[in-house]
Amino acid sequence: MWIAAGCSLFTDLSGFAGDAVDAGDASKGGEDSGRDALVSEEAAPTNGRCDPTKAFGPPAPLAALNLPDENDRAARLTPDELTIYFSSDRSNERRIYRATRARIEDPFGPPALLDELTTPSISFIAATPSADNLELIVEERAVDGGGGGSDLRRVTRATTSAPFGNATDLGVNTAQDETDPQLGAGGLELWFARPATGGYDLFVASRPALAAPFGPPSSLAGVVNRPSVSDTDPVPSADGTELFFQSDRDGPSRIWVAHRRSTSEPFGAPVHVSELDGTGTNDVPNWLSTDRCVLYMASVRGSGIADLYVATRPR
């Protein structure tokens, strides 16, 4: 059975190490009303597939990808939602798998191991694709006496039919762990988590062009990060006005969300996304569709095993 812990729910440096969770000391009183007030001031929904101001429906398991008794987590999709990358220990090692489908309405086909990310003594925690699917931001963790820290690296390829090449350093790594990578702002921002005072904080680095290196990362400004709390797994919306993340500030490690009216402003006070709570105490946001209608997540529920889920906002 998997036991959750410290920073990010579904990384080796937390739950899969078998440590205990450090509970947050905050209460959430009044947050739901604050969330409703801010969401009501957002732009009116378009005639798309959902109303992005509404709550998500119940998360449904990704039956085509989940395996019984195996931990599947860290889902990342391409913007067209036709390719998914996720991490699984189904081969008795933490590896990245990829699956595709022809239409959004279809289930994903059988997942295949990403052979180029199978270095011995390295666990591959997550792989985040660029919009053109030619770049992956990969979280790697050394195992078997290799130091045990997580770093973020970049792999690229010339075409979508080619394998990814050798990993290169992103320039954001330190002696601490860098975890839970996500790309934002069309690939010009790198969001991730790093240890802070008594927990983990969210950080952002930016680059002027897709081929350029990322600059020095900064801790997310505003009120999202809290001392002595682990805030991890950032999932920003495509327009940068909505941010889902995992936090243990209320005790269990759950999914929270913060909003802002524009990217020039800091995020407002986060609120607990209670409609995404599982039967256990461990839920993690993984990926948000560009129209903010669909959220992929990982959760440990009745079996004590991490599975992938998808939640959809109604029209």
d(CA 280, CA 273): 15
The answer to whether position 3 is within a domain reads: no
Q: Does the pLDDT at position 238 exceed 50?
A: yes
Q: Which residues, including other chains, have CB under 8 Å from residue 24's CB and lie 6 or more apart?
A: 226, 228, 229, 230, 247, 248, 249, 250, 251
Considering only the C-alpha atoms of the chain, give the largest distance between any 2 of them, rounded to a whole number of Å. 54
Between 25 and 249, the higher pLDDT residue:
249
Beta bridge partners of 189: 184, 206
Task: Please compute the mean of the pLDDT values over residues 21-42 and round it to a whole number.
Answer: 38
Task: Please compute the mean of the pLDDT values over residues 18-33 and round it to a whole number.
Answer: 35
The answer to whether position 5 is within a domain reads: no
The answer to whether position 6 is within a domain reads: no
- Give phi and psi for 174, each to the nearest 5: -130, -170
d(CA 11, CA 199): 15
CATH at residue 98: 2.120.10.30
The answer to whether position 8 is within a domain reads: no
The answer to whether position 172 is within a domain reads: yes
The answer to whether position 222 is within a domain reads: yes
**How much is the pTM?**
0.86
pLDDT digits (tens, 9 = 90+) for 98-152: 999 999 999 999 999 999 999 988 999 999 999 999 999 999 998 755 456 899 9
The answer to whether position 234 is within a domain reads: yes
pLDDT digits (tens, 9 = 90+) for 206-233: 999 998 999 999 999 999 999 999 999 9
pLDDT digits (tens, 9 = 90+) for 249-298: 999 999 999 999 999 999 999 999 999 999 988 999 999 999 999 999 99
The answer to whether position 295 is within a domain reads: yes
Q: How many domains does the chain have?
A: 1
Region of 292 on the Ramachandran plot (φ > 0 left; ψ -120 to 50 alpha; else beta): left
Q: Does the pLDDT at position 185 exceed 50?
A: yes
Task: Please compute the mean of the pLDDT values over residues 4-10 and round it to a whole number.
Answer: 40
- Residue 258 domain boundaries: 15-312
